Amino acid sequence: MNQIWIIAKRELRSFFDSLIAYILIVLFLGFSGLFTWLIGNSVFYVNQASMQVFFGVSFWSLFLFIPALTMRSIAEENRSGTIELLLTKPVTDWQLVTGKFLSVFLLIAISLALTLPYYLTLWKLGPVDHGAVWTGYLGLLLMSAVYASIGIFASSISQNQIVAFLLSLLIGIFFHMIFGALAATSTGFTGKVLSYLSMQTHFDSVSRGVIDSKDIVYFLSLVFLGLAGAEIAVAKRNIVEK
């Protein structure tokens, strides 16, 4: 655990040192703030003291921003050779991968924590369903964990950050949209499977305040799959000369 935290700490610091973290936070707050408060189906247009608008916007903005955070993590280590440095220290492949994952997840959590003033503002404006707000945040965190682990996986199989970025969007879009869209047009068993695979199904049910073990299993198993895939890709150095 300690090694994971040391790696995550370094990554987090590097996010902040290289301005990536600040740019992400500004973009995320700007984007979600704009759509929550000013444009389109904003809180005032809906005329309800509800965070649903914000969660809907974040559902998309996080999907787009997370690959930009993860694309560098392992691809850059592969390219510059620092992976050799790390993995000849007392660090296992799994610790490296989970450390990278943890750093991205924590950065997202920090960004989300910075939107808590939205919640406080709404609280002032009218009656808020507090439970739904917290489960909504939980839904966003779980979804972010999934996309972060997919992003880490995409980053681990490439030396090129652009490839990693596009690949994680490509894998992500299936869970984010395509499975859901296909489920809507399919019936029977296939429809059920596709609907189970769709992120929207589980995000909606969690953010509606229903925390079902079925949803938790979905999120956690995807996170685990992504990280396990990344670990396998990192261990592939034993077969292919890098």
Partner 1 sequence: MDIVVRNVTKRYGPQKAIDNISFTVHTGEVLGFLGPNGAGKTTTMKAITCFISPDEGDIAVGGYSSRENPEAIRDNIGYLPETNPLYPEMPVIDYLWFIAELHRIPHDEIPSRILQMVKTCGLEGEKHKKIGELSKGYKQRVGLAQALIHDPAVLILDEPTSGLDPNQIVEIRELIRKIGREKTVILCSHILAEVEATCDRIVIIHKGKIVADGTAPDLRKRAQGREILRVAAEGPDAQALSDALLQLPSVALVDPAHHIPGAFEIQSVDGQSSKRQIFDMCVKNGWYLSELTPIETKLEDIFRELTRSN
Which residues contribute to the site for partner 1 (CB under 8 A)?
2-3, 6-7, 10, 13-14, 17-18, 80-92, 237-241
Taking the least distance from each CB to partner 1, the nearer of 12 and 193 is 12
Nearest-approach distance from CB 117 to partner 1, in angstroms: 31
41 vs 82, beta carbon nearer partner 1: 82
- Min. distance of Cβ 236 from partner 1 in angstroms? 10
Instruction: Encode burial over 152-164: b for 16+ CB neighbours within 10 A, e otherwise.
Output: bbbbbbbbebeeb
Residue 11 or 215: the one with the smaller Cβ distance to partner 1 is 11
How near is the Cβ of 4 to partner 1 at its closest, in Å?
A: 11
Q: What is the DSSP string of 75-118?
A: HHHHHHSHHHHHTTSS--HHHHHHHHHHHHHHHHHHHHHTTHHH
Answer for the pair 193, 218: CB distance below 8 angstroms, yes or no. no
Among the listed residues 45, 47, 63, the one whose alpha carbon sits nearest the alpha carbon of residue 55? 63
Q: What's the min distance (Å) between Cβ of 99 and partner 1?
A: 10
Residue closer to partner 1 by CB (options 225, 232) is: 232
